Structure 1
Amino acid sequence: MRNTLLVLLFMAVNTISYSQNQFTGIVKDAENGEPVFSANVYFPTLEKGDITGEDGRFEIGNLPAGNYKLVISSIGYTSYTTEINIPAEEFEILLTPSAIEMEEVIVSTPFHQLQSENVMKVERESISELNKNGAVTLSDGITQIAGVESVTTGTGIGKPVIRGLSSNRVLVYTQGIRLENQQYGEEHGLGISSMGIGSVEVIKGPASLLYGSDAIGGVLYLNPELYASSGETNGELRTDYFTNTRGYQSSLMAKTSGEKLKFLARGSIAAHSDYKTGNYERVTNTRFSEKDLKAGIGFQDQKYKADLRYNFNRSEIGIPEEIGIQSTRKLPLLPNQVIDNHVLSLDNKFYFKNSSLDFRVGYQFNDRKEFEEHHEHEEDHEEGEEHEEEHETHEEDEDHEHEHEEHEGPALEMHLETLNYNLKYNLPKIGNFEIITGVQGMYQTNDNFGEEILIPNAETFDFGIYTTAHYHISNWDFQGGLRFDHRDLQTEQTLSEGQLIEGIDRSFNSVNGAFGVKYKFGEKFTGRLNLASGFRAPNLSELTSYGTHHGANRFEIGNPDLDNEQNFQVDLALEYRNQHFEVFANAFRNSISNYIFINPTGEEIDGEAVFEYDQQNAMLYGGEAGIHIHPHPLDWLHLESSFQTVTGELENGGYLPLIPANSLTNTFRVELENIGRNLVSSYSFIRLRSVFDQNNPGSFETETPGYSLLSAGIGTGVKLDEFMLDLRLSGNNLLNESYISHLSRLKPDGIQNIGRNIMLSATISL
């Protein structure tokens, strides 16, 4: 049936005739009439654009006839949007100078608008900006976004937390498809390298209308790096060094684009030793390494666009248990994870007059292995305060033993295969109405091959159908929609820990909706109100677990009778901005029915504490507020401050676990552009992040004292003939603070987070 539909679709598209349409124009400064160099001129719906030359001119070819939104953006100017009816005559665009950061088109929302035009507020940061601050990993970098934190197991494992919700309540999208990598586990990381990711977008709040089950807490949307501009070839070599972990990461990229065909490839490697705390102790087996390959082939003409992307990631990650051997070696000890993750996606877009059809399909294969100690081979001769050099010989022997035990086979091996599909039709615009309708879903299998079974062999089938609409009139924007979802879940009968776990065959259904309104009070003040419901079907771990979960150090018992989680969130966002001053305040209230949580029973099995899954209504509330000052005429000077807070409570009393503490971040930043002939840009910053006491712990957590972390950095970009050299130096926790994050999974063992870390980075680009 699917093949027949695709054949008919191609036949329908090819029967439509198109003419070759060119769109040309010039971009100028509105104040002095000078041409604007390197401005981005872009049609979001067509995903096609050009960069202006030194004369301010641009040319975009192979455009289908119709009416399309055009976005023009450039550093130092206010972004500009208008609608263009193709074919069109040459167009002159005037940009107004501004110290406000350049706005980009938001991809994770359905109508691809600038953030200032979106009904739903979405946070967006480029990976290059996050890396400036010395982030060790992608999960570390996203914590710089207001309202986003990370549940960590050392430095190598991190999971996004959005307004207090994490794991299966936050969806991660990469290459335009939902990432499936056994994300139910707190000790399961993202499995994606930041190398080759262009930007990160964060939807804070239920996004089930657009993404289905599991988007109850929000979406982390990773945009892959762009292809080269038409007619250009680019290359890049980057290397980073981290003093704390004596770690490195290197990446090599090449890409080239013709008028229709585009190619891109990037290979990256990284390796880190055990991190050092503020007390100068290395946390044993927090070492990790990563190999990553990303490749893409793109094609586009006036009626069709295709983007084929592939990502392979291998991560070898130690699972820490205690502070023992002090070493800077990088080969993980036991226990450890070896994870291979393959992501293949194909995005097809068909352009008609004033409408388009998007068919995206993805395949993922996640091979997760965990190796454990089969017998005791460590004694008390590995004191934390001993010198690193005294343990080198011992650790070499241990590594040989580690390799020998790996040959005995993994204790846990799970193969997760997922096929995603998303068919979306953008209807012709009717007056000020824009409408999108579509179907999406996935088919997924989980198979076990190891000695232990954490979750049973299973099949999951998802199907969803949705419609969303946007209406604009004067200063008002309205957006809303409805969605129906169905999930079938079947598991095999399994023997685990001597206990027979019966197979389950269950279906979950849900209808959800969203409505939002944005109003502009003049040119400077904007208000947004969004109401949305969401749902999450219970995952395999919550339904079927029975056994020791070594990564979590507990014996887990699932509940096959769990129901859907269902939530409703109210979100209010207020924003004021002029040319040199910005202030915002966001508040939310998130009510969750049948919230699923794990709770200790007070019993023990095989020496491990027993935890069972249960349900109860819950409430989360809080928000973010911030201010950004860039005073005239010192537009290069930036003063920023942001505060975030969230509280999670159970209906029958008590607090939710893994809720981040309140925090306040203050940043002083200097950014200089076009300094001279060769010195293109320069920046420096100093940042103080103050995390307050967390005095509202969950039932099996303890209170966590607050701490403050000082960071600073400097960087410059130098043009050398045909090459660009970027040099960066940044430091985190410069005062070497000894602290423990409330979201660290090593907190119950009293193990501190990472101490002072200096990052040196050099990038050569062509």
Structure 2
Amino acid sequence: MTLVGSRISTLSEQRPASPAIIPMHRVSSTAVHPCIGGIRRHLLALVLSFAVAPALDIPHLSAQEAEQVHVFEGNVRDAGTGQPLAGAHVSVVGRETWAVTRGDGSFHLTGLAAGAYILRADRLGYRGATAVVTVGTERARRAVAESAEVVIELAPSPIALDDLVVTATITERAAAEALRPVSVMTGDVLQRQMTATVAGTLASMPGMAATRMGPSVAQPVIRGLSGDRVLMLEDGIAVGDASNQGADHTTALDPSSARRIEVVRGPGALLYGGNALGGVINVIRDEIPSAAPHHLTGSATLQTQTATGSLAGSATAVFAIAERVPLRVEVAARTAGDLKTPIGTLLNTDGELWSGGAGTAYVGDWGRVGASFRGYRNYYGIPGGFVGGHAEGVRIEMERVSSRSRTVIDDPVGPFHNLRFDATHSWYTHREIEASGILGTLFEQQSASADVLGRHRRWGPFAAGAMGGRASWEDFGYGGSLHTPDTRRLKAALYLLEEVDLGSFQIESGLRYDWTLIDPGEERVSDIGEIHERGFPSLSGSLGVLYKSASGLVLGASLVRAFRTPDVTELYSEGPHLAAYVFEVGNPSLEGEVGRGLDVFLRFESDRLRAEVTGFHNDIRNHIYGEDTGRLSRVLLPIYQFRGSDAVFSGFEAGVDVDAGRGLALEGVASMVNGRLKGTDQPLPLVPPLKGHVAVKYERPSWYVRAEAEMADQQDRVGEFETATAGYTVFNAAAGVRITFGGRLNVLTVNLVNAANAEYRNHLSRVKEIMPEAGRSLNVMYRVVF
């Protein structure tokens, strides 16, 4: 990265530039439209945020400052050729402000107050770079006579380096400096791995796997843990769905519009919830825009896959409807046929998906307030025709409607340099429809939540910290064949996270208190036990230490105590769940899970190498799981009894990326987890085997080719009545082209999956006994960024 000079002016000066100088970096001041009352009246989700914000002691700007909004302009170019780079993503580190470069490489960042900022530029095929800039100060204005332009130059690189993360960290920071094992999927990797589900998209990452019931149904598994032990977030806020209440429930998230996906492996994400013993997945799409873009910004995508005959498309656009009022709109749709495997077609696995949303905000000098609305509908099939499955399969109709408001205060308030208030509401329904058209099973869920989060910089002995709270209400309804009582769940939490900087050492400690009340709305004696109200207070804590050497070596360790509350299904279920192939028997006397975890990791990152290896050990008291009793119900469904037993999960994760020179790169990933009961050493069910992949890639700034071997060992450490699976090797190949056309970045990706049409079985597939995984498939994606 090269930062060349600076040129700053304001509109109040209105001085014409010399013909010999083209100003590519300037700060301008324009008047503010003060009234957005119409938007406030029509966005009901803003009510809570507007109610809370006025109660705060927000510093007021002077009249002159209030009349100014700063716009930063710059340019991104190729470091070798000097050519402008279209489609580069430029963001302000520590803020949610970003822009996309145009055909001439220019970008505009709006809504910036006077001060110094760190800019981050990223582009496909290049290594990211940062630059420190100053906006709106007297010193910046004096620089006008000294130089001509600001240019951020990016160097081509076949491997991704210097990724930034925001999930489970107090402030945005480099992934190499995170105190938890963390991975980021973005850019070419996200485009190449994109599937119909978030879990399927992430399945190749270290420590990740996915349970499957066909191409439309997948749930994420991190270190052998799944369900609500893996917390799903949208832009940092929990998703309100019932995906953890059955293997046939996919997550109500469409990954096609994601800008990036971050994965935090292991417990300790105290900012988000104590239940997350496995980890956290954060799908980032910036649904509520943080600034009014200078010009229309967005992307459009088309995707097809031969294994299912699918066709998918999505489009996102962000634009300004007023000087300080951005609007973001998004729509996505997908249709797919039955899955084709090497030995035949898995019937009744076709599906249709639709998703759309809109978000807007008012961006002031003090911060911003905004809201969004999203609709999601997924209609897909669950295969049947075998013992344990429905005779002719089941159709699933899933719908989710959600709204959200967010208020962010960037001016100091007491010890906090940043405050954020979130309010959400979600309505979710899941219908399982039998072949005759009869409604077999019904899940309904309404949820609402309110969050407050304050972040501070240096305060006493602490270099940075965060504290906040959360309150939520959930109402679960059940119908059809299910005999689970309608239940309400109330939650409240307070948390604190602080960091001490000792130079080469960083220490982070945190505490979280959660209180949960689960009310089934009735008290009675049932065949499964006494149905009654349950309360679960819990305390979680974490301590992490990170050592950074001057050579780029990073060593870290963390200790965590986490608590998970039993969910409604584990406590009160009592009947057949046809689409999940089980007859579920709950246990209303279950106690909560208490997890104690240790992570030790070693990282190294240089200009040509990125490597990380992590070892983990999680001891979980009263681990709750559905045990196959080996018996069938009257409708020939396997009877699963929920029980709690002490368990241990231990293993490792490793990943390496090597820039071998001249555009050649090597990549390797491996992960393994061993899950067992402590008392008997009996293996736990649905634990993934040792797996990983190796790949070689040749990359130029405008194109790349890649070959990969994906491997898994046999899994013969299986739970009682669980089927073992053989090991396999699958070969994949991919190629991509990046072309600037019409001033826009156009990306075409072609991915050949299972090139040899190998027959193999995913150990976590619920249909592995009747059909293998997908056969040879050609996946093509085209994306234009504007």
Tell me the TM-score normalized by structure 1. 0.85
1:137 is aligned to 197
Distance (Å, rounded) in 1 between the aligned partners of 2:659 and 2:465? 38
Shift of 1:441: 2.7
Which residue does the alignment assign to 1:371?
433
Deviations 1:656-677 (A, max 9, x none): 111111113011112221xxxx
- Which of 523, 536, 556 does residue 551 from structure 2 map onto? 523
For residues 120 and 310 of structure 1, the distance between their equivalents in structure 2, rounded to whole angstroms, comes to 32
- What is the Cα deviation at residue 223 of structure 1? 0.5
Equivalent residue, structure 2, for 1:439: 469
Given the alignment, which residue of 323, 337, 341 partners 2:396?
A: 337
Deviates more, 1:102-111 or 1:81-90: 81-90
Which residues in structure 2 correspond to 1:276-287 (within 5 Å)? 276-279=340-343, 281-287=344-350
What amino acid does structure 2 have at the position aligned with 1:576? F
| Cα pair distance change 1:699/1:422, threshold 3 Å | same
Judge conservation of contact 1:284–1:323 (CA < 8 Å) in 2.
Answer: no
Question: Aligned-pair distance for 1:105?
Answer: 3.0
SS in 1 for 2:570: helix
- 1:697 is aligned to 2:718: yes
Deviation at 1:34, TM superposition (A): 7.1
| Paired residues of 1:22 and 1:87 also in contact (CA < 8 A) | no
Match of 1:357 among 413, 419, 423: 419
Deviation per CA, 1:581-619: give whole Å up to 9, x if none. Answer: 232211111111110122233444314333211111111
- Aligned pair in 2 of structure 1 residues 750, 232: CA closer, same or farther (>3 Å)? same
- Offset from partner CA, 1:33-66 (integer Å, 9 cap, x none): 9798677554343322456789988765544467
Letter in 1 for 2:121: S
Cα distance change of structure 1 residues 357 and 735 upon mapping to structure 2, 3 Å threshold: same
Aligned to 1:452: 481
SS at match of 2:173: coil
Distance in 1, Cα, partners of 2:108 & 2:347: 57
1:264 equivalent to 2:304? Answer: no
Q: Which residue matches 1:651? A: 678
**Relative to structure 1, is the Cα distance of residues 711 and 361 closer, same or farther in structure 2, using a 3 angstrom cutoff?**
same
Q: How many percent identity over aligned positions?
A: 21
1:46 pairs with 95, 118, 129, which one? Answer: 95
Whether the 8 Å contact between 1:72 and 1:79 is mirrored in structure 2 is yes
Shift of 1:765: 4.5
Aligned to 2:54, what secondary structure does the other structure show? helix
Q: Structure 1 stretch 301-310 or stretch 461-470: which is displaced more?
A: 301-310
CA contact (8 A) 1:458 1:490 kept: yes
Q: 1:397 is matched with which residue?
A: none
Q: State yes or no: 1:641 paired with 2:641.
A: no
CA displacement 1:675-695 (0-9 Å, x = unmatched)? xxxxxx212211110111112
2:753 and 2:766 map into 1 onto residues whose CA distance is: 21
CA distance in 2, matches of 1:622, 1:361: 38
1:600 and 2:660 correspond: no
Distance 1:283 1:57, change over 3 A: closer
CA deviations over 1:158-190 (Å, ceiling 9, x no partner):
000001100121110114321132223122111
Q: Identify if the C-alpha distance between structure 1 residues 60 and 733 changes in structure 2 by more than 3 Å, giving closer, same or farther.
A: closer
Stretch deviating more after TM superposition (20-29 or 661-670): 20-29
Alpha-carbon separation, structure 2, partners of 1:27 and 1:282: 51
The alpha carbon displacement at 1:26 in A equals: 6.5
Q: Which moved more, 1:215-224 or 1:33-42?
A: 33-42
Match of 1:565 among 577, 593, 608: 593
Q: Which residue does the alignment assign to 1:329?
A: none
Amino acid at match of 1:221: N
- TM-score, reference length from structure 2: 0.83
Code of the residue aligned with 1:349 in structure 2: it is: V
**Deviation string for 1:456-482 (max 9, x for gaps)?**
201100000011112223222221111
Residue type matched to 1:651 in 2? K
1:198/1:40 Cα in 2 relative to 1: closer, same or farther (>3 Å)? closer
Contact 2:110/2:293 (<8 A) preserved: no
Amino acid in the other structure paired with 2:383: P
Structure 1 CA distance, aligned partners of 2:297 and 2:586?
A: 51
The Cα of 1:638 is off from its aligned counterpart by 1.1
User: 2:206–2:655: 8 Å Cα contact kept in structure 1?
Assistant: no
Q: How many residues align?
A: 711
Measured against aligned partners, the alpha-carbon deviations of 1:382-417 in whole angstroms (never above 9, x if no partner) come to xxxxxxxxxxxxxxxxxxxx4xx32x5x12222200
Structure 1 stretch 254-263 or stretch 652-661: which is displaced more? 254-263
Report Cα offsets for 1:337-395 as digits up to 9, x if no partner. 101012222121012236121001111111111112xxxxxxxxxxxxxxxxxxxxxxx
C-alpha contact 2:596 2:620 (8 A) present in aligned 1: yes
Counterpart residue number, 1:736: 757
Cα-to-partner distance string for 1:502-533 (whole Å, 9 max, x where unaligned): 54211101111111121111132111212122
The change in CA–CA distance for 1:96 and 1:551 in structure 2 (over 3 A counts) is closer
What CA distance in whole angstroms lies between the structure 1 residues aligned with 2:79 and 2:779? 41
| 1:547-558 map, 5 Å | 547-558=575-586
- Partner Cα separation in structure 1 for residue 506 and residue 83 of structure 2: 33
SS in 2 for 1:144: coil
Counterpart contact for 1:618–1:648, Cα < 8 Å = yes
2: CA distance, partners of 1:173 / 1:290: 20
Structure 2 residue 772 is matched with structure 1 residue 752: yes
Structure 2 Cα separation of the partners of residues 507 and 722 of structure 1: 59
Closer, same or farther: CA 4–600 of 1 in aligned 2, 3 Å: closer
Equivalent position of 2:266 in the other structure: 205
Per the alignment, residue 10 of structure 1 pairs with: 54
The offset of 1:721, in angstroms, is: 2.2
Residues 53-80 of structure 1: per-residue CA shift (max 9 Å, x gap): 89988765544467x7624334444544
Written as runs of structure 1 = structure 2, the 5 A alignment for 1:360-439 is 360-372=422-434, 402=435, 405-406=436-437, 408=438, 410-430=439-459, 433-439=463-469
Quickly say closer, same or farther: Cα 1:84–1:650, change in 2 above 3 A: farther
CA drift at 1:492: 2.8
Q: In structure 1, list runs of 5 or more residues that go unmatched.
A: 325-331, 373-401, 674-680
Measure the CA separation in 2 of the matches of 1:694 and 1:757.
25
Distance 1:235 1:437, change over 3 A: closer
Letter in 2 for 1:253: T
AA matched with 2:751: S
Between 537-546 and 522-531, the greater mean CA deviation after superposition: 522-531
CA distance in 1, matches of 2:724, 2:541: 37
For 2:227 and 2:52, how far apart are their aligned partners in 1?
40
Question: Are the structure 2 counterparts of residues 556 and 494 from structure 1 closer, same or farther at C-alpha, using a change threshold of 3 Å?
Answer: farther
Sort the Cα spacing of 1:245 and 1:31 in 2 relative to 1 into closer, same or farther, 3 A: closer
1:676 alignment counterpart? none
CA drift of 1:319 comes to 1.2
Provide the rounded CA distance (Å) in 2 between the counterparts of 1:601 and 1:289: 35
Q: 1:586 to 1:534 in 2, by over 3 A?
A: same
Aligned residue in 1 for 2:147: none
**Match 1:672 to one of 674, 697, 700:** 700
> What is the distance in 2 between the residues matched to 1:4 and 1:210?
21
Deviation at 1:489, TM superposition (A): 0.6
CA deviation string 1:615-644 (max 9, x = no partner): 111111111112221123x1x221111111
**Matched letter for residue 376 of structure 2:** N
**Change in 2 beyond 3 A, CA 1:579/1:46:** closer
Asked if 1 retains the 8 angstrom alpha-carbon contact of 2:70 and 2:113, the reply is no
1:159-198 matched pairs, under 5 angstroms: 159-182=219-242, 183-198=244-259
Structure 2 partner of 1:254 = 317
Question: Distance between the aligned counterparts of 2:78 and 2:706, measured in 1?
Answer: 31
The alpha-carbon distance between structure 1 residues 272 and 648, as it changes in their structure 2 partners (threshold 3 A), is: same
2: CA distance, partners of 1:128 / 1:302: 35
Could you say if the C-alpha distance between residues 42 and 175 of structure 1 is closer, same or farther in structure 2, counting changes exceeding 3 Å?
closer
Deviations 1:251-299, CA, capped at 9 Å, x for gaps: 23333136422112222221111111112x1011111111111222133
- Mapping of 1:534-545 within 5 angstroms? 534-545=562-573
Given that 1:319 and 1:337 are in contact with CA atoms closer than 8 Å, whether structure 2 keeps it comes out as yes
